[in-house]
Amino acid sequence: MIRISALAITATSLLMLSQTAQAVNLSLIKKRCGIQDSLDVFAALGRNAWALRCKYLSPRTYDWFVNDDFGNKRSLPYYPSFTKPGNFADWIAAPRAKMASCETHGYSPLISCVSNKNFDTSPFTFASGEFTIYDAYTQQVQQLVVVDEQATLDNLHYREDTVSITAKKAPVQQIDMMTIHTQSGKTLRITQDHPLLLAEGILKNAQYLNTQDTLIAHDGGLDQITSITTSTVTAQLYTTQLNTLDAARKGKTQLVITQGFLSGYLADNGELDMGQRLVLRDSLPETLLR
């Protein structure tokens, strides 16, 4: 599963750390946070850990940067950006590793930024709401909603499956995206290799879908595809793994909900063959295939 983080300028300064920063032009702050000193989530957490250890952040500020008001991990943590006092144009890319040297040669944390806005084309439904796999990982969400084995199209019902999730940063690259419009007016935006369940009980990768295909909505309704467009984005990728903790289901494809439609997700490091249709009748609920 690939996790995507947009490279578009999305960061803005959210907190002024000194009165000097209040006089800085907002466009310069956006440029600093969005381009010059833009950090993804992993890098932002690393800088925060370094700044706390080196006492550039107080424990209270560190906690606010990393956690929300309810003590949950922020999906987009804040982080400090270091500038020479009195000269905003003079700045450094401060360390992003906790144990790096604390020396900043007079540069100070003048402003804070929010880490790169993450988006995922395939948010899944968990017990506590919709999350991308990466956001579920950062927020330690584990109860994935999956289709129950006894479900039918006339009576779809779901259960919760406890999963473990890991994530690892991958190289920045260009990736093709599919935007799918359906007869009911709904829109999905997914990667080309994402498998969707069709009305005939076939899991088919998005790149092979056409306007003759009909998707299955989360309530069992059938929704025909009316148009498909492809676009290319430059993105920070994350390789994520979602593993079921139920030994009886290891290595089997689970049916999950992706943007309101039934979708396949192959657990436990299984790999979907990108070049073929997947007829997985041995691992899909049999009642959905009749």
In the predicted structure, residue 270 carries a pLDDT above the cut 50: no
In the predicted structure, residue 6 carries a pLDDT above the cut 70: no
Distance in Å from the first CA to the final CA of the chain: 29
Specify the pTM. Answer: 0.51
Average pLDDT of the segment spanning 79-108: 93
Q: Where in the chain is the domain with CATH 2.170.16.10?
A: 124-289
Q: How far is CA 29 from the centre of its chain?
A: 25
- The number of C-alpha atoms within 13 Å of 238 and in the hemisphere containing its C-beta is 24
- What per-residue confidence (pLDDT) applies to 248? 67
At 209-219, the pLDDT tens digits run 999 999 999 88
Of the candidates 178, 179, 183, 181, the residue with the CA atom closest to the CA atom of residue 223: 183
The SS3 of residue 247 is: helix
- The radius of gyration of the chain from alpha carbons, rounded to an integer in Å, stands at 22
- What per-residue confidence (pLDDT) applies to 104? 95
In the predicted structure, residue 178 carries a pLDDT above the cut 60: yes
Superfamily of 124-289 according to CATH = Hedgehog/Intein (Hint) domain (2.170.16.10)
Euclidean distance between CA atoms 94 and 4, whole angstroms = 25
Euclidean distance between CA atoms 51 and 134, whole angstroms = 25
Average pLDDT of the segment spanning 145-168: 80
Burial of 207 (0-12, 13-18, 19+ CB in 10 A): middle
